[in-house]
């Protein structure tokens, strides 16, 4: 049964509002972080590149773009009850996965150690708590979703793998702006020098987080497949054909 038109409009507005709030949070935190780096005499291009090397920032920026796309694509009245196009549906699965992982990892591993003087409190909570919870609610209750294939969950794993590879390759090439150490890792669980377990601990965290990404991605796809019926088969829907002559009767 199709939800009422008001429900479609409500979720359209919610996607646009949340997308705008997430974008504002990223911008506010970026201004604070880069301004603090400049005030401390740090190399601003490096500080800027470091800011956009955080998985949290990348996943929130992607969320703002995808939610804006989801909302703006439905602005014409005739499209407000339409189903998300395949590319948008896949992107929503991906950003939902990344944001839920961000929420879990931050609140389990980083909340006590990542609050600095340049942290914008409200933006921090939006990016790590409220935006992920909204995306979870959107998957479970939102309208307009498309039933996606399982391979979308597999595709969702590619970006975190690429980000980890980028991080580990880049880290030894960057001097830490604050400490002057000849390396810079965005998170302590990826820093082999931050704990007694060294690279063994880093590999353990990477494996655990990769497993979490896989579980969450397949979980998001499973929820959508349970909520949404498979497309109706078109078998038997062809018009009858007469055996008299060779022309169909329409």
On whether residue 250 sits in a domain, the answer given is: no
Please give the pLDDT value at position 237.
Answer: 46
Please give the pLDDT value at position 47.
Answer: 92
Torsion angle defined by CA atoms of residues 33, 91, 158 and 60, in that order, rounded to the nearest 10 degrees: 10
On whether residue 38 sits in a domain, the answer given is: yes
Burial 65-104, CB ≥16 within 10 A → b, else e:
ebbbbbbebbeeeeebbeebeeebbbbbbbbbbbbbbbbe
The residues near 96 (Cβ < 8 Å, ≥ 6 apart) are 135, 136, 138, 139, 220
Give the span between the Cα atoms of 78 and 8, in whole angstroms: 12
Please give the pLDDT value at position 244.
Answer: 44
Q: Would the pTM of this model clear 0.85, i.e. be above it?
A: yes
How many helices and strands, by DSSP H and E, does the chain display?
9, 0
On whether residue 198 sits in a domain, the answer given is: yes
On whether residue 247 sits in a domain, the answer given is: no
Residues of the domain holding 70: 5-227
The residues near 55 (Cβ < 8 Å, ≥ 6 apart) are 98, 102, 160, 163, 186, 187
Please give the pLDDT value at position 249.
Answer: 45
Total structural domains in the chain?
1
Please give the pLDDT value at position 79.
Answer: 62
On whether residue 237 sits in a domain, the answer given is: no
What phi and psi, each to the nearest 5 degrees, are found at residue 248? Answer: -70, 150
On whether residue 185 sits in a domain, the answer given is: yes
Q: Is 47 in contact with 38 (CB distance < 8 Å)?
A: yes
What phi and psi, each to the nearest 5 degrees, are found at residue 241? Answer: -115, 130
Q: What is the length of the chain? A: 250
Please give the pLDDT value at position 179.
Answer: 81
On whether residue 242 sits in a domain, the answer given is: no
Q: What is the pLDDT along the chain (250 residues), one digit of tens a residue?
A: 456 667 778 888 999 999 999 999 999 999 999 999 999 999 999 999 999 999 999 999 999 999 999 988 877 665 656 788 999 999 999 999 999 999 999 999 888 776 778 899 999 999 999 999 999 999 999 988 999 999 999 999 999 999 999 999 999 999 988 788 899 999 999 999 988 889 999 999 999 999 999 999 999 999 999 998 786 654 444 544 444 444 544 4
Please give the pLDDT value at position 250.
Answer: 46
Please give the pLDDT value at position 234.
Answer: 42
On whether residue 79 sits in a domain, the answer given is: yes
Query: Whose CA is closest to 44, among 35, 53, 55, 54?
Result: 35
Query: Whose CA is closest to 184, among 197, 170, 198, 196?
Result: 170
């Amino acid at each position: 049964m199709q939800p009422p038109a008001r429900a479609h409009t409500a979720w359209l507005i919610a996607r646009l509002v949340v997308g705008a709030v997430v974008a504002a949070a990223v911008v506010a935190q970026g201004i604070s972080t880069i301004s603090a780096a400049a005030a401390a005499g740090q190399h601003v291009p490096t500080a800027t590149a470091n800011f956009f090397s955080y998985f949290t920032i990348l996943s929130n920026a992607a969320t703002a773009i995808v939610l804006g796309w989801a909302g703006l694509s439905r602005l014409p009245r005739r499209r407000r009850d339409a189903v998300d196009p395949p590319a948008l549906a896949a992107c929503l699965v991906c950003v939902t996965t990344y944001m839920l992982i961000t929420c879990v990892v931050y609140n389990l591993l980083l909340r006590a150690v990542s609050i600095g003087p340049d942290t914008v409190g409200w933006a921090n909570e939006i990016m790590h708590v409220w935006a992920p919870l909204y995306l979870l609610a959107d998957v479970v209750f939102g309208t307009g979703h498309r039933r996606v294939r399982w391979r979308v969950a597999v595709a969702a794993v590619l970006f975190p793998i690429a980000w980890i590879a980028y991080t580990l390759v880049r880290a030894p090439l960057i001097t830490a702006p604050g400490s002057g150490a000849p390396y810079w890792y965005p998170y302590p669980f990826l820093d082999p020098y931050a704990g007694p377990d060294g690279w063994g601990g880093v590999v353990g965290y990477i494996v655990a987080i990769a497993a979490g990404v896989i579980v969450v991605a397949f979980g998001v796809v499973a929820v959508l497949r349970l909520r949404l019926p498979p497309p109706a088969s078109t078998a038997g829907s062809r018009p009858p054909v007469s055996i008299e002559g060779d022309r169909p009767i329409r």
